[in-house]
Amino acid sequence: MLRQILGEFLKLDGVTAAVVAGRDGFVIESVVAGDVDVEALGAMASTGMGTSEAMSDELGKGEMNQMLIELENGPILLSPLSEDELIAIVANANVNVGRIRYELKKNRDRITAAL
């Protein structure tokens, strides 16, 4: 079921991967349409999320909802799903980031229920 839900992200123009990983960096489930090392992505997403959450705590900014990394060849969107899992979505340049954010918000409960 989780794989099917993640597959819906690949139907969005420009999305090349959707990965659910544990906070330990190990991949729980992934779908890929392109050349993405999901194991490396899971590990780096976990590290980046942890660092950003520590910064938020230090500055008193509350809980993290999403993290957008804007890169030359496309964005990576990271978002916590629970205390133990996160999602990373990789896309090409010129993707509609707002659409990805909308679909993630709309499907968050379905994703967590499938975990």
Q: How far apart are the first and last CA of the chain?
A: 9
3-state secondary structure 17-58: EEEEEECCCCEEEEEECCCCCHHHHHHHHHHHHHHHHHHHHH
pLDDT at site 9: 96
Distance of CA 49 to the CA centre of its chain: 10
Is-contact 21 90, C-beta < 8 A?
A: no
Q: In this predicted model, what pLDDT tens digit does every residue of 8-66 receive, in sequence order?
A: 999 999 999 999 999 999 999 999 998 899 999 999 999 999 999 999 999 999 999 99
Residues whose CB is less than 8 angstroms from the CB of residue 4 and which lie 6 or more positions away in sequence, other chains included: none
Q: In this predicted model, what pLDDT tens digit does every residue of 83-115 receive, in sequence order?
A: 999 999 999 999 999 999 999 999 999 999 999
